[in-house]
């Protein structure tokens, strides 16, 4: 039983790291791509 408990703890740590990585990407990606996407939408709006 102890072995399964350690594996469960390891899975929880892996999931926590995965969620943290997703959160970092979700914060950085819009910041990095924000100006580029904004410029593209502005060009499209001007064309219309």
Q: Tell me, what's the pLDDT at 30?
A: 82
Taking the C-alpha atoms of residue 10 and residue 38, their distance in angstroms, rounded to an integer, is 41
Q: What is the pLDDT of residues 1-48, one digit of tens each?
A: 556 677 778 899 999 999 999 999 999 888 877 777 778 888 899 988
Q: Tell me, what's the pLDDT at 14?
A: 94
Q: Tell me, what's the pLDDT at 4?
A: 62
Residue 1 three-state SS:
coil
């Amino acid at each position: 039983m102890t072995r399964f408990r350690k594996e469960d703890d390891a899975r929880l740590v892996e999931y926590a790291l995965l969620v943290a990585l997703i959160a970092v990407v979700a914060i950085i990606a819009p910041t990095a791509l924000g100006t580029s996407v904004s410029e593209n939408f502005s060009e499209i709006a001007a064309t219309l």
